[in-house]
Amino acid sequence: MALTEDDIYRASTQYRLWSYTPEALVSLRATTNTHAAERVQAAIRRSHNAARQPSGDTTARIVDCLTAAEELTILTHFTQQCLRISDAFKFPTNVKASAAQYLKRFYLSNSVMTYHPKNIFPACLFLSTKTENNYISLDHFTEQLNDITGSKKRLTSDDVVAPEFVVTQGLRFTFDVRHPLRGLRGGLLELLAIARGTAALLPSLGKTPQQIRKEMLDITAPADTPMKTTATTRDLEDRCGKAHDKAKDILAAAALLTDVYFTYTPAQIWLAALLMVDEPLTLFYLDTKFPIASNPSAVDVNGASEAITADLQKAKVISLIRTCAEAMANHATGAASTSREELVRIDKKLYQCQNPEKADLVAMNAAVKRNSVVAKGDGTSETEEDADARAAKKRKEERERREKEGDVFGGSL
């Protein structure tokens, strides 16, 4: 049985672990926010009790924690910052796209009240340079990052890599991100082949490449890409190229700042971006992907005609693509933007409800390395230091036993 591209995608970790319905996504973020608020309150009480005055006052302040919507606002802001810094580094699009997705995936199961995004996004960005095979040394990355941000408090290399293990845990140790950029490039190549009359078409279309090319010449062009009355192959190629470039800009910005990666497939995302910039061309392209019923009067197992079934499938796909396009267009037109005053208000609120036990990630990382726990064979656990000491003691006892027995290579045969 031949595997289709859809079958391959459904076997990916992105589909199995990071695909949600919009309702499930909202519910997951609400649950994460609720649990984080409870932990923050408890951590603040512990911190207060540890530092309370000799008077014995144990009344800890009750903090006003962020809502799930406020968390998402802060996350979007730092995702934008991650994209801007990626552009300043001149990283390839796939590097910054993976960094943005790592950041958004991490905060599905973690809260900005627990781990501040300003500490997490540099780790996500540096991690993406490794997973996307775009090597840059840690020292150079840190130096460039400090120059780009211009922050008075300069980051160290430890600041960048300290959250890395926490991030990989949040990512469930899955680093593969299926981006729609490859699909968009493939779609461009197919459209160029159609424009040149060399396309490989579905046999069920019942048309030659030249007939499809003529139909492509007749489709309406968008207002900002006028076509000549007698369009040539070069005109068609230019139209396809402009549509590709504009759609790529959408995929490099709006698609990364919305939730479309969680709720749509890569193919649906790039087709939605193409629909936003040249709808007639996109609908024409989709027409070439749905077979024409060889026998319109034939019926399937449900009693519907083949022609009606094909039309329903195409209508469903177009509806999904339009919904995805609307989500990206809402951000592109500023509907999802937030005022600076609102960001300042949320940031001040976040400062008051930050988990004090998770503030110093460098110290946390050092403590984990120093006192990391390893499993023992009897089901219990111990620190690495204890494990090393126990192993050394066992080797010493074994050496002494052999010395007592005589020849370390064993007795005579």
**Whether residues 45 and 192 fall in one domain:** no
Kindly report which listed range (48-57, 95-104, 253-262) carries the lowest average pLDDT score. 48-57
**Whether residues 58 and 203 fall in one domain:** no
Q: What is the pLDDT of residue 126?
A: 97
DSSP 8-state symbol, 53: -
**Whether residues 131 and 229 fall in one domain:** no
**Whether residues 161 and 257 fall in one domain:** no
Cβ–Cβ < 8 Å for 221, 239: yes
**Whether residues 302 and 186 fall in one domain:** yes
Mean pLDDT across the chain: 85
Q: What is the pLDDT of residue 376?
A: 46
**Whether residues 194 and 230 fall in one domain:** yes
Kindly report which listed range (32-36, 125-129, 154-158, 225-229) carries the lowest average pLDDT score. 225-229
**Whether residues 55 and 159 fall in one domain:** yes
**Whether residues 130 and 216 fall in one domain:** no
Residue 4 has pLDDT above 70, yes or no: no
pLDDT digits (tens, 9 = 90+) for 190-213: 999 999 999 988 888 888 999 999
Number of Cβ atoms within 10 Å of the Cβ of 97: 24
Cβ–Cβ < 8 Å for 106, 140: no
Q: What is the pLDDT of residue 374?
A: 44
Looking at the 3D structure of the chain, how many domains does it have?
A: 2
Residue for token digits 């995608």?
9
| Residue 216 burial (10 A CB sphere; 0-12, 13-18, 19+) | buried
Sign of CA dihedral 237, 240, 243, 247: negative
DSSP 8-state symbol, 299: B
Q: What is the pLDDT of residue 294?
A: 52
SS3 category, 12:
coil
Give the pairing type, strands 373-375 and 381-383.
antiparallel
Tokens representing 307? 């022609």
Cβ–Cβ < 8 Å for 145, 160: yes
**Whether residues 317 and 196 fall in one domain:** yes
Q: What is the pLDDT of residue 370?
A: 64
- Residue with the bigger pLDDT between 53 and 78: it is 78
Domain extent for 87: 5-177
- Residue with the bigger pLDDT between 403 and 289: it is 289
d(CA 50, CA 35) in angstroms, rounded, equals 23
CB contact burial 230-264 (16+ within 10 A = b; e otherwise): ebeeebbeebbebbbebbbebbbbbbbbbbbbbbb
d(CA 266, CA 208) in angstroms, rounded, equals 29
**Whether residues 45 and 165 fall in one domain:** yes
Q: Among residues 332, 351, 372, which one ends one of the domains?
A: 332
pLDDT digits (tens, 9 = 90+) for 335-380: 456 788 999 999 999 999 999 988 888 888 777 766 654 444 444 4
